Structure 1
Amino acid sequence: MDACTLGDLLDVVGGTSVRLHTAPAGLTAPVTEVLLHDAGAPLPPVPGALLLAVGVRAAAAGPLVRAAAEAGMTGLVVRGADGPTAEAQTYGVALLSVPGDLAWHQAHLLLASAIGARPASSTGGHGDLFALADAIAAATGGATAVEDPRQRILAYSTVPGQPVDEDRRQGILGLRVPVSLDNSEQYRELFAAEGPVRLPALRDGVLPRLAVAVRAGGETLGSVWVVDDGTLAADAADTLAQGASTAALLLLRARAARELARHRDSDLLRRVLDGTADAATSAVGLGIEGPVRVAAFVLEAAGLPDAEQTGMRLLDVVRLQCEARYGRHACVLADGVVYAVLPAPGARHRRLAEDIVARAGQALRVPVRAGLGEVVAGLAEVTASRADADLVLRVLGPSLPVATIDEVRPRVTLLRLTEVLGERRELSAGAWRRVLAYDAGHGTDHARTLMSWFDAGCDMAGAAKLLAVHPNTCRYRLKQVRQHIGIDLDDPDERLVLWLQLRTLAGLGRGTAAG
């Protein structure tokens, strides 16, 4: 693969994730790796490196620019926008920045992945693993398979003429190792060993195996298995151990590529939801076509001590459930809300949201609620569906944790009307203020009487029942409203506006007393 340049890097992660402030040496400057600044150690001479200004405020990073230049580095990355641009231009060092809320370890992963990850191949990003499996099979003399820790087969050899058994055939057909108690015991033995182990045949017709765990930094990434028909090369164990080291590097690189792709999808989806990305291009990038609906998920508990971490866990739950149903899926955490774009038809969307709310609430031990916007024709209209979903979240509560926009349309409409009426002087003025003022000055209860009468469909007996008073009491109060406050209750427009203002601006609803 050709060396990565600054321009290549920005093509991958530029935009809202990484911002370029200046590049005195141009965009063709090579970028070799990413280093974390350690204030307690001298800066190593690493030509082409990007230095992350860990522990240094962006405005105070001028001396670090000079040190990076003396070390031959290509650029300095600060957190926040107020960086030493002038110093960077003076010393010929590129200055980049990442958002202030992006953790340094996340910035390191993002940039390192962009520098070192290759595009995913047609084999799901594991093309190099297939080549490795073939190489191990040729060197050891036995059919080889590479698995992940969950016993899913990631790659397998295709060297002709090597003996295989039924377990091998079934595993490749289903891309998963057949489950059995004997298998589980062999995996325990394998992952407890420090190197390759020879495992006996589990039953008649099945061949023994030579296997090794694949590890990196103490983490188990998977395993490599070789079918042993008794004719393996004498140095098969050594070959397998070396192959495991290579497999670890390939698995780490594949993971980095997946994380990078996920980050790019998240960044693109965030811009789609904000309406700042081209819908047609984004649809291709995200693999989303046709009608869609936005589902929004949020934690109910406010002021959680670890709200950011819990929000990320909620994102994981939502993504896992959506991917289980729809495959590759677009989910993102933005402003404390997890958004998922669900493909139409939408008949099962509510059930999915209910499942996610139940699972997330149980896993996170925090109540979760979910709002679903309207189904729209495509990504070009997705901002409207997101706005719907956000409004639904605002009217949900413990008694109704999940709803679609159509299910709560009256509540949402009143919520928006409350905001609009409150913002406009001419819409917030009117008889409702005179009613409340009269009640406050005379100790009467005319506002609540009016609301009860409206709620009862202007039926006197129904209003009296709601108020738990005699119908004549209601008649008297409404007569007082006409005479002393000057409201024409026979005018339907007057009644409509008065009800709307008392309901929204005064906050009076069913069973609500005047404040």
Structure 2
Amino acid sequence: MNDVTLRALLAFEDGDALRLLCAPAEEDAPVRRIAVGLDDLGSGAEDALLLAVGADPVAGTVREAARRGARAVVLAGALAEPDEDLVAVARETGVALLTRAEGADWAQTAAFLRSALTYLGTVRDDDAPATSSLSVLAARVAASVNGSITVEDAQLRVLAHSATGPGADALRRTVILGGRVPDWRVAELRRSGLLRALWTSPDVIHRAADDENPERLVVAVRSGREVLGSIWAAADGTALAPDAARHLRTAAGLAAPLLVRERLRESGTAHRREAAVRGLLYGLGDRRTHAWALGLAPDAPCAVVVAERLPTGRADDRSLDVLALEISAHRPGSGVLRDGDRLTLLLTGEGPAADHETAVRAAVRDLEGVVSSAPGTVWLGIGPVVRPAEADRSHERAVLVVRALRERETRASAAGQPRPARWSDAAGVAGPLEALRVLDAVRPVWESGAGPVHDLVRADLAAGGELVRTLAAYFDAGCDVPEAARRLVVHSNTLRYRLGRIRERHGVDLDDPDTRLLLSLAVRLAP
């Protein structure tokens, strides 16, 4: 049996049954068997994963399990947050600590872990037969059919492909570079009925060459009645082999277990990576464990980049999707989180922090170039380079930088000035950023206050906010009435009339310095 690591074992679990509370001392702790209860452990170094059935007290169980050679301990019941004393014991002994979800019983957990351990121990991509890897399978089939092979999952995402020859058509290059079949091509396949035929037919489907695309063969990969994906063969400068269909049918059978494994790996690994990235970005849970789950050393340099899109409502605004694809293609070790109109990137590296800072700025310049030609508006904020345990600080600063960039552009637009850069770090927007920090600190004080200025702002916002917008333009223009009127696109006398209403109707004296200060804060804090 091949060596299996705890990291590989967890990659087969979707994150709903087991939760990692504390990482092991070793980067790739081996696991050789699953033990149920302390009595199932021997007295020597067994490299076991212990299911702590009926364990009480828990801390004593962890110590004893470590003494008997366990690499990890699974506890019963879901914990909202790990007990600090228990985590301390796990760190002291070097044992990984996990909890079992309340909805899964011990028998189910043991059966799953033993099955995964057996499977991983008997199959390895680097030294197994030629069909143990989708990439190897694609290369072998390509040679047999005398064409190019693409292996896709049920969502038409590319999982593997053979080498692309000089005669490859534009569609194949687009699919491989994009990592999936483009939407327009999917729509075309639906209209033609080929997609329906693919998912329902057990045989190889032939598509003749046309003016733009060469001859193609495609077959669905199935496990019983479930469709797992498909294998496409395309003529690559020469005709496909006469028996190409037979080779594709054989390949579909060989690919089925590989696609199942790919789905398991993708599900478990992606779920855990996302949970670990989110934990680091928002300072949740045990940060050392999150770093371990991402394969990061405790002192590895990392920086957070926040990309925020201005909502456009346009169906073709895929700017954040393009960014995510760019990061995945060129920086595969990075963490990516998508939340609505915001994309958060955890860019990791090696070596000195200064070198990583230079690399991050270069990467952001490239990303800005990518989105500048796409529909919509995207701002990119760079957080400082920190250690993984401090990623939440970099994230907080990157979010603030984006806010400062947006406000700076709004003010430049109102003043008729050229559009400023849409990416920066904290140093590039130092003034606006510090102003935002002060405003965030002042907001609770303002919201709990009362008086004439509060009454003015609340009443005006309820009526549409005309006076608040007038005051904002007035202060932004340095109390220059003609300039403020120009920005509001109104006559100077109209602006003076509005300022007079503020004095007469609301009793707010704009000549008083303290009142002007309070008003300037109030209009900045207004929604």
Normalising to structure 2: TM-score of the pair? Answer: 0.46
Larger Rg: 1
Pick 1 or 2: higher relative contact order, CA cutoff 8 A, min separation 6: 2
